[in-house]
């Protein structure tokens, strides 16, 4: 087995604003595992807000490469050799892809999941002025669900502007840890009145215990606060949903385990992503088959259409081809 890890840049068509800054593109790391006449692939998107960089991911993969190439580490052993995060994600997904190609079985057969032809997915609107939020909402009248990023200076005005344009579209908001508990308690009733069904990550990561003082009527979702199953004891009494992202869980293996454990605890499921090409969206699509909320619209933001590979028509994702992954 030969392991390679290459870094490349994915640019967005326009900058995308969230509570912690503006994103115009990201470096991703693509992994290839070559052996037995086939190549398995995976991709990671390191996020600086989690302390990850593309260079660090490549270094982490370089350290484990000798054991991968000698056969001392397989996909299951990998779960204990690398911590949850983007390096393990890219390698874990490459192992899955390699096994599918080596055995001639699809990823759906290997995981025991059903392969739907489409998945309903949201469309995200970044932090904008109320006027720009309304304009963008008008371009998504056919969307089945909108995610609105908050944590800016005009949060409620933006929500009201979107709701005025899209009075019946399912709507939830994502704060990316940009509020205080006082803001959350003050704004949640107003959001409920605007038929917002969920608030994603209202407080910064590491402040989950403050949510014991949450008094609002809108269910909460843990994103940055939820990495893998080890977090569930801390989260289950404070959040109704968990947002599962492969770059947080460290790959498809833990993502599927997290989904099943969270559901067994009565929590509701969402799948999301950092940035990534179709190579990253394909394994996330599998997780999406288990989830109530699918937030995999990054292909709509990518500057180069060739990077998308998993098609999003503004309302739903289409099943990826095996040439892409799995």
Average pLDDT, the chain: 96
Give CA separation, 197 vs 148, 164, 200, in Å.
Answer: 12, 16, 10
The percentage of the chain sitting over the pLDDT mark of 70, rounded to a whole number, equals 100
In this predicted structure, what is the pLDDT of residue 306? 86
How would DSSP label each residue in 282-306? HHHHHHHTT-SEE---GGGTBSSGG
For residues 81 and 64, what is the distance between their CA atoms, to the nearest angstrom? 8
Question: 109-133 pLDDT, tens per residue?
Answer: 999 999 999 999 999 999 999 999 9
Residue 149 designated active-site: yes
Choosing from 2, 101, 147, 245, the catalytic residue is: 245
Separation of alpha carbons 302 and 1, rounded Å: 32
Q: Which of 2, 149, 248, 303 is catalytic?
A: 149
Q: What is the pLDDT of residue 39?
A: 98
Place of tokens 């190579």: 279
The pairing of beta strand 145-149 with beta strand 170-174: parallel
- The predicted model scores a pTM of 0.96
Q: What end-to-end distance do the CA atoms of the chain give, in Å?
A: 18
List phi, psi (to 5°) of 250.
85, 30
Q: Show the tokens assigned to 203.
A: 């407080």
- List the one residue out of 177, 195, 201 whose CA is nearest residue 295: 201
Question: Would you say residue 166 has pLDDT above 90?
Answer: yes
Tokens encoding 310: 């998993």
In whole angstroms, what is the distance from residue 59 CA to residue 124 CA? 33
Partners of 148 in beta bridges: 125, 173
Task: Give the per-residue pLDDT at 305.
Answer: 86
Give the model confidence (pLDDT) of 245-271 as tens digits. Answer: 999 999 999 999 999 999 999 999 999
What's the pLDDT tens digit per position in 27-80? 999 999 999 999 999 999 998 888 899 999 999 999 999 999 999 999 999 999
CA distance 153 to 288: 32
Q: Is 248 in the active site? A: no
């Amino acid at each position: 087995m030969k392991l390679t890890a290459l870094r490349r840049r994915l640019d967005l068509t326009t900058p995308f604003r969230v509570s912690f800054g503006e994103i115009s593109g990201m470096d991703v790391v693509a992994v290839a595992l070559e052996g037995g006449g086939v190549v398995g692939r995976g991709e990671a998107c390191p996020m600086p807000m989690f302390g990850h960089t593309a260079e660090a991911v490549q270094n982490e993969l370089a350290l484990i490469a000798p054991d991968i190439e000698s056969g001392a580490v397989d996909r299951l052993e990998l779960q204990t050799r690398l911590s949850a995060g983007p390096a393990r994600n890219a390698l874990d997904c490459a192992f899955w892809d390699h096994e599918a190609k080596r055995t001639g079985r699809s990823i759906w057969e290997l995981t025991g999941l059903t392969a739907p032809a489409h998945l309903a997915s949201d469309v995200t609107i970044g932090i904008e002025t109320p006027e720009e939020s309304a304009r963008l909402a008008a371009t998504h009248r056919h969307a089945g669900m909108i995610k609105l990023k908050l944590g800016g200076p005009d949060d409620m005005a933006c929500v009201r502007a979107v709701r005025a344009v899209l009075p019946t579209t399912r709507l939830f908001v994502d704060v990316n840890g940009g509020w205080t508990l006082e803001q959350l308690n003050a704004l949640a009733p107003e959001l409920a009145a605007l038929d917002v069904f969920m608030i994603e990550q209202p407080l910064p990561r590491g402040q989950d215990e403050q949510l014991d003082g949450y008094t609002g009527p809108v269910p909460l979702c843990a994103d940055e606060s939820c990495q893998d199953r080890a977090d569930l004891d801390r989260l289950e009494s404070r959040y109704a949903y968990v947002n599962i992202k492969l770059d947080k869980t460290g790959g498809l293996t833990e993502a599927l385990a997290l989904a099943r454990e969270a559901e067994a605890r009565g929590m509701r499921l969402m799948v999301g992503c950092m940035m990534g090409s179709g190579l990253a969206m394909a394994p996330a699509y599998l997780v999406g088959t288990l989830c109530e909320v699918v937030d995999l619209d990054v292909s709509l933001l990518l500057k180069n259409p060739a990077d998308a590979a998993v098609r999003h028509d503004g309302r739903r994702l289409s099943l990826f081809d095996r040439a892409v992954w799995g």
